[in-house]
Amino acid sequence: MCDRISNAYFRPSKTGLQKHSDWLLIFDNVEDLTYVNELLPSVRNGYVLLTTLSHATGEIIGISLESMEPEEGALFLLRRAKILEFDALLDQASIANRDTAVGISRVLAGLPLALDQAGALYRRHKLWSLWVSRPLPARTRSTLRAAWQRAT
């Protein structure tokens, strides 16, 4: 299947990447690392950022990120959302923002990239209410936590 996908969808991109330099290609939440090389251009004049929960990364140089405690994740989220300044402390946030951010941090199992994306989502759309009124289903939360615990 990957051959069909890479040939049909990625050939133009791979060709374009071979002709240019200083590009950044992002693979997020990769489950099977065996397919990544098939999707990369043969001439690599750029950079690849890959996120995975897998510890078996072979030759890939990895940087391990630990999950954050709820308060640490909340502070990161509020800073990313630009609700707090970069050097501000969590207790400087309003009680409502602090409680919401701690809740979101728990829902997202303290996963740094997920918290980063939630902060970016807030900055763009001001969607705290989405998280408060419609949190992730319990099954999704438990799946996220189980996957993270398995990987760490």
Regarding whether 92 and 43 lie in a shared domain, the answer is no
Q: What are phi and psi of 93, to 5 degrees?
A: -80, 155
At residue 152, the pLDDT reads 46
The boundaries of the domain holding residue 103 are 70-151
Q: What is the pTM of this model?
A: 0.57
Question: Which of residues 118 and 1 earns the better pLDDT score?
Answer: 118
pLDDT in tens, 40-78: 777 778 887 777 777 776 777 777 778 899 999 999 999
Q: How far apart are CA 106 and CA 134, in angstroms?
A: 14
Q: How far apart are CA 135 and CA 104, in angstroms?
A: 8
Residue 31, in any domain of the structure: yes
Regarding whether 146 and 86 lie in a shared domain, the answer is yes
Quickly count: other Cβ atoms within 10 Å of residue 66's Cβ: 11
Regarding whether 45 and 75 lie in a shared domain, the answer is no
Give the mean model confidence (pLDDT) for residues 121-128.
Answer: 72
Q: How far apart are CA 63 and CA 19, in angstroms?
A: 29
Q: How far apart are CA 128 and CA 120, in angstroms?
A: 11
Residue 58, in any domain of the structure: no
Residue 56, in any domain of the structure: no
